[in-house]
Structure 1
Amino acid sequence: MTVRPTLYTCAGSRGLRATWAAEEAGVEVELKLLPFPPRFAAPEYLEINPLGTVPLLIDGEARMTESCAIAHYLATKDGYTDLAIAPGEPDYAAYCDFTYHADATITFPQTVFMRFALFEKDKGWEDAGHAYAKWFWKRLVKLEERLETREFLCGDRFTVADICCGYALILAERVGLDEGVPGALKAYRARLTAREGFKRAVERESAGPAAV
């Protein structure tokens, strides 16, 4: 009997990358939706994941907590699919770079903005939050330049790199950071969110409380 991977997440969180990748790759996962933030709203979750973060993927002995890594894993666990660029393909380096770029460079200032300007704005840190908003907007230049001549980031097709970077643009719209997002990237986001795989992922997560 094949045991499905289990994905712990909160609706609309970074875990959406993993839910989305599973839908696009046709990988069946058991979805465990948690209240946000789980470390406080579901303290029993700390027994499974001491970090208290989402997502968490458990697949046999494998335990993963990084959303971009989980998305890549789901796209390749049973062999490379079109969702990933394999070693030897011309855009392999770009695929690796943009997949890591999503969190290391783009999502990071978003999370600081959210903390200062949304979650803890009563502490008087809103100015710091807005400084990180400008940082986020400036860091979109690499995506904007890459997409000037192509529909997707790598390999002339939709890949995990689009899922990972696209989530940051989706989050920007949700948390009030859309003002500085270039029109070309908004159009790119619209192409991504029109995908049936994305719609299925959102529908699956809709049973849980939103993360923001």
Structure 2
Amino acid sequence: MPSTELPVLFTCAGSRGLRATWAAEEAGVDVELKLLPFPPRFTAPEFLEINPLGTVPMLVDGETAMTESCAIAHYLASKGGDRSLVVEPDEADYAAYLDFTYHADATITFPQTVYMRFALFEKDKGWGEAGQAYAKWFWKRLVKLEQRLESREYLCADRFTVADICCGYALILARKVGLDEGVPATLKAYRERLIAREGYLRAVEREAAGPAAI
């Protein structure tokens, strides 16, 4: 018989794990949310016994263990009764869906994380100039999203999908960490559409009220 245990999502409130929490809420998939203090590899060393990388999010679903936020979002969306969040292989925008879902971390979020290190977490080391260089790099990398959304409401298949969750999170993070100056107005409007969704609001509320992890 299949396991009746819920998938367990380890995360930090507002981190990349929000993609997974958001996808679960949109798809109507129950997960057991375990909130960790940030950064967990230092503040919750016992978490290293579960995930030696010490990174969040991490999803444990039976024998399945996943540590990539975009992959977890896709996985959870695929488990939902309504699969509209996922673009299927026989749909015209399948390739675009894959491309933008992976684009979210590989191209957009990467310069953000380096900026955050130089400009926020280690700013006392005098690396502000390097941080600003990565800020400009991030802004330049938004061009693909901007062009894609010139004539459409969502990225793929004329509907809200995991690709929007993954790329949208990067825009949400940009405002949170002081990178909004170079975000185009069209992408800010896109972000406003995303964060007005009930699934997003539920995800944020749930992370804010989540139980301690370990």
TM-score bracket relative to the smaller structure: over 0.9
Q: Matched residue pairs, number?
A: 209
Please name the residue that 1:100 is paired with.
Answer: 102
Q: How does 1:97-176 map to 2 (within 5 A)?
A: 97-176=99-178
Q: What is the letter of the counterpart of residue 145 of structure 2?
A: L
1:44 matches 2:46: yes
Q: Report how far residue 208 of structure 1 moved.
A: 5.6
- Could you tell me how far apart the structure 2 residues matched to 1:30 and 1:121 are? 36
Verify the 8 A CA contact 1:146 1:153 in the aligned structure 2.
yes
Task: Encode CA deviations 1:154-202: one digit per residue, 9 max, x unaligned.
Answer: 0000000000000000000000000000000000000000000000000
Contact kept in structure 2, 1:6 and 1:31, CA below 8 Å: yes
Determine which of 34, 37, 43 is the counterpart of 1:35: 37
Question: Structure 2 counterpart of 1:133, which letter?
Answer: A
1:35, 1:208 within 8 Å by CA — same for their partners in 2? Answer: no
Q: CA deviation at 1:77?
A: 2.9
Structural RMSD (CA) = 1.3
Distance 1:70 1:44 in 2: 22
- Counterpart in 2 of 1:177? 179
How much has 1:2 moved relative to structure 2? 1.2
Indicate which of 59, 62, 72 corresponds to 2:61: 59
* Contact map agreement 2:27 2:82 (CA 8 A) in 1: no
Q: Which amino acid aligns with 2:150?
A: E
- Runs of at least 4 residues off by over 4 Å: none
Paired AA for residue 30 in structure 1: E
TM-score normalised by the chain length of structure 1: 0.96
Amino acid corresponding to residue 155 of structure 2 in structure 1: L
Which of residues 197, 203, 206 is equivalent to 2:205? 203
Q: Which residue of 1 aligns with 2:193?
A: 191
1:78 Cα offset (Å): 5.4
Query: Residues 120, 208 of structure 1: CA spacing in aligned structure 2 closer, same or farther, 3 A cutoff?
Result: farther
Q: Is the 8 A contact 2:103 2:167 kept in 1?
A: yes
**How far is 1:108 from its partner?**
0.1
Instruction: Structure 1: state its 5+ residue gaps.
Output: none
**Hey, what's the Cα distance between the residues in 1 that align with 2:9 and 2:173?**
20
